[in-house]
Amino acid sequence: MHRPPPSPLARAVASLALLSLGAALGACGDKKLGPSVPASVNIVSGDSQTLLAGNKASTPLVASIMNADGSPLPNVPVRWSVPSGGGSIETVVDTTDANGQVSTVYRSPAKVGSATVTASAASATRQFTVIIVADTTGSLFAYGGDGAAAIVGVPLTLTARATDRFGNPMSGIGVTWSTSSGQLQATSSTTDSTGLATNVITVGPNPGSATITATSRFNAVTFTVFALPAS
């Protein structure tokens, strides 16, 4: 049976139907977020800064919130948290400004190490890292060798340790040494990454006690060692 060709109107309707179907399929396959939905949290400034231990305030941690097109989003709530490393933040929840930016200030814990601060907007997150180092106020104390004894002419190891006011080890602290008798291996040393400075004294030449003084910019500490007769 012969059918007449479709009319121009019928062809137009069929074309529109195909276009609508294609658009619907494309929309179903498009995972792109809406223009007002946060797609990314980006670091503007404040990442990887170094801070002294002991409730010291950081420079502001600044983040920007953008949609899927990369446009900044104003008036978006952002939550800040400290998932690791300790410390605290001054603002837990804030709203982005007209430029899509938001900020908070981090305060350091008493313990040295690395802290992570997270900014979250909807399902998007970004992490800032803050390095916590020892405070500048500290003290030196006898860590090993105080009260030790050896036969005349035998060396003894002395160890001093520098820590900040929170007990964190302090590296790079200069220590000078002096003794009332015996022979010191060195007159000065520097604390290592664990806060330790060592020296060696050879006791003698006569039996008896010797007083060794280790002095830092914070304070001086004394060790007493004993030289024993050889027989």
101 and 119 in contact (C-beta within 8 Å)?
A: no
- Find the range with the poorest average confidence among 77-81, 108-112, 194-198, 204-208: 204-208
197 and 214 in contact (C-beta within 8 Å)?
A: yes
Compute the Cα dihedral for 201, 204, 208, 211 and give only its sign.
negative
Say yes or no: do domains 40-133 and 138-228 share a fold.
yes
The string of pLDDT tens digits covering residues 121-163 is 999 999 999 999 999 999 999 999 999 999 999 999 999 999 9
Query: What is the pLDDT averaged over residues 71-88?
Result: 97
For 33, counting Cβ atoms within 10 Å of its Cβ (0-12 exposed, 13-18 middle, 19+ buried), the class is middle
pTM to 2 decimal places: 0.78
CATH class of 138-228: mainly beta
Domain ranges of the chain: 40-133, 138-228
Planar angle of CA 15, 21, 24, nearest 5 degrees: 145
The string of pLDDT tens digits covering residues 168-226 is 999 999 999 999 999 999 999 999 999 999 999 999 999 999 999 999 999 999 999 99
Q: pLDDT value at position 35?
A: 79
Q: pLDDT value at position 33?
A: 56
> 184: which 2 tokens?
């010191």
Where residue 11 falls among pLDDT bands split at 50, 70, 90?
Answer: very low
Phi and psi angles of residue 16, each rounded to the nearest 5 degrees, phi first: -65, -35
CATH architecture of 40-133: Sandwich (2.60)
Q: pLDDT value at position 7?
A: 58
